[in-house]
Amino acid sequence: MRRSKLTYTALSALLILGGWSAAGTVPAAATGSAVSTPAGTARTASSKPAADGLVTAMQRDLRLTRTQAKARIAAERAAATLDPKVRKTAGNAYAGSWFDAGQGRLTVALTKAAPASTRRAIEASGARVRTAAHSARQLDATKTRLDRLTAPAGVSGWHVDPKASTVVVDVVRQDRADNDVRAFLSRARQAGPVTVRTVAAAPRTFAAGTVGGDPYYTGNVRCSIGFSVYGGFVTAGHCGSPGAGVNGWDGSYIGTFQGSSFPDNDYAWVSVGSGWWTVPVVLGWGTVSDQLVRGSAVAPVGSSICRSGSTSHWHCGTVLALNETVNYSQGAVHELTKTSVCAEPGDSGGSFISGDQAQGVTSGGWGNCSSGGETWFQPVNEILNRYGLTLATATARRRPAPAP
């Protein structure tokens, strides 16, 4: 599936996401311009119809009919737009929210102290209301206390679960009886409402040594592009350090890591030049059509989401948790989003997208795309805010200009 560098230049295509090499043909709509979005600002979810390829992938990975997939995409767009509004309406009584796939709408948890008028207002907006034992502020405070602790390797991570109104601590099954794990859990339970869950394996990052395929390289590491921004692209921090040079699938020089953070965070951005261009496209790898990026509205827990990467290409699943702390062997990484999507070495840095809304860059996980697993991503809006970057988004008005 490789193309010549000349073809890439003609298409103004910097291979976004999971692979620097096999870009496939950029769809006709992708020849539109890369229009600026203010740094860190999430645009309202698009009302444009879902691409056929996205619907097909959701049918395959989420076991939906075509009608169900289209209906879910529309409902998730509505939920993503409604979510920030109900948070504001709920105020201090807000206890979390998530997309309920069975109901096809947003569910909002409120504390018992929530005024009846607040409940009525949120229900009138179209969301479903549930009562929770703890406010989101209380749960976030508990998680913050855990973030201050040093976790042993047998503790794979922790996150707020708004459905259960608790902070869930994940422990690797084989390490449950470990003395250090037990000591950590004892301290964790003192921090606030905590529930312990057993998981099959510890997460790992998905960078890879130099292998064949469709990569971008920094040193002997292969990773995947996340999303185009003005002047470059974002990716995972564990893929390279500031100042490190980046080469494309054909060995040609692309650019340089301008900023990178790992652990604590797992994000980076790379400036591009040398004839490489940036376009607002996520590669579908022939599984689906290449996807245009139109914004970065955050998908609530429960929403469908898809990932593109240079090793395992295109796979879909659902959002399982927001703001999770993941305890990699290299150190804890904070504010990650957990998904049921699989990934494999070399997929690190690749794109997570929900509909046409950019969500984040692949960090790590456990499992693989044969047996399944879970994968975490660093939210893209956090990366944009950290480095003052502007996400490249699609219109059909102008052709994209080359990155400076």
Q: Which among 296, 304, 297 is positioned nearest to 320, based on CA atoms? A: 304
Q: What is the pLDDT of residue 139?
A: 97
Q: What is the pLDDT of residue 104?
A: 95
The whole-chain average pLDDT of the chain stands at 83
Q: What is the pLDDT of residue 279?
A: 81
3-class secondary-structure state, position 92: helix
Q: Which among 162, 167, 227, 158 is positioned nearest to 193, based on CA atoms? A: 167
| 203 vs 94: CA distance, rounded Å | 31
Mention every residue, 6+ apart, whose C-beta is less than 8 A from residue 67: none
Which conformational region is residue 151 in: left (phi greater than 0), alpha (psi within -120 to 50 degrees), or beta?
beta
Encode pLDDT of 186-221 as tens digits. 999 999 999 999 998 888 876 543 322 247 889 889
Determine the number of helices (DSSP H) and then strands (DSSP E) in the chain.
7, 25
Q: What is the pLDDT of residue 21?
A: 28
Q: Which among 184, 153, 141, 137 is positioned nearest to 332, based on CA atoms? A: 153
Contact criterion met (CB below 8 Å) for 282 and 308: yes
Q: What is the pLDDT of residue 278?
A: 81
Mention every residue, 6+ apart, whose C-beta is less than 8 A from residue 116: none
pLDDT at 130 over 80: yes
Q: Please confirm, yes or no, whether 348 is among the known catalytic residues.
A: yes
Encode pLDDT of 363-395 as tens digits. 999 999 999 999 999 999 999 999 999 999 985
| 310 vs 161: CA distance, rounded Å | 31
Token duo for residue 50: 């879902």
Q: What is the pTM of this model?
A: 0.74
| 344 vs 366: CA distance, rounded Å | 8
Of 20 and 179, which is predicted with more confidence?
Answer: 179
Q: Please confirm, yes or no, whether 224 is among the known catalytic residues.
A: no
Encode pLDDT of 61-86 as tens digits. 898 999 999 999 999 999 999 999 99
pLDDT at 37 over 50: no
| 378 vs 101: CA distance, rounded Å | 23
Percentages helix, strand, coil for the chain, rounded to the nearest 5? 25, 35, 40
Of 269 and 249, which is predicted with more confidence?
Answer: 269
- Edge-to-edge strand ranges of the sheet holding 128-132: 94-100, 105-111, 128-132
Q: What is the pLDDT of residue 45?
A: 56
Which conformational region is residue 24 in: left (phi greater than 0), alpha (psi within -120 to 50 degrees), or beta?
left
Token duo for residue 159: 């996150």
Q: What is the pLDDT of residue 331?
A: 94
Contact criterion met (CB below 8 Å) for 296 and 43: yes
Encode pLDDT of 306-359 as tens digits. 999 999 999 999 999 999 999 999 999 999 999 999 999 999 999 999 999 999
Contact criterion met (CB below 8 Å) for 156 and 178: no
Using alpha carbons, list the distances in angstroms from residue 375 to 55, 241, 336, 342: 21, 22, 10, 6
Q: What is the pLDDT of residue 7?
A: 31
φ, ψ for residue 244, nearest 5 deg: -70, 135
Q: Please confirm, yes or no, whether 238 is among the known catalytic residues.
A: yes
| Active-site choice (156, 348, 354, 363) | 348
Contact criterion met (CB below 8 Å) for 302 and 287: no
- Strand 194-199 and strand 166-172: pairing? parallel
For residue 212, count other CB atoms closer than 10 A to its CB.
7
Q: What is the pLDDT of residue 50?
A: 67
Residue range 101-113: mean pLDDT, rounded: 96
List the domains of the chain with CATH numbers: 1-82+198-404 (2.40.10.10)
| Active-site choice (12, 21, 83, 238) | 238
| Active-site choice (61, 161, 170, 266) | 266
| 205 vs 210: CA distance, rounded Å | 15
pLDDT interval class at 53 (50, 70, 90):
confident
Q: What is the pLDDT of residue 47?
A: 60
Q: What is the pLDDT of residue 197?
A: 94
Residue range 223-236: mean pLDDT, rounded: 92
| 284 vs 270: CA distance, rounded Å | 22
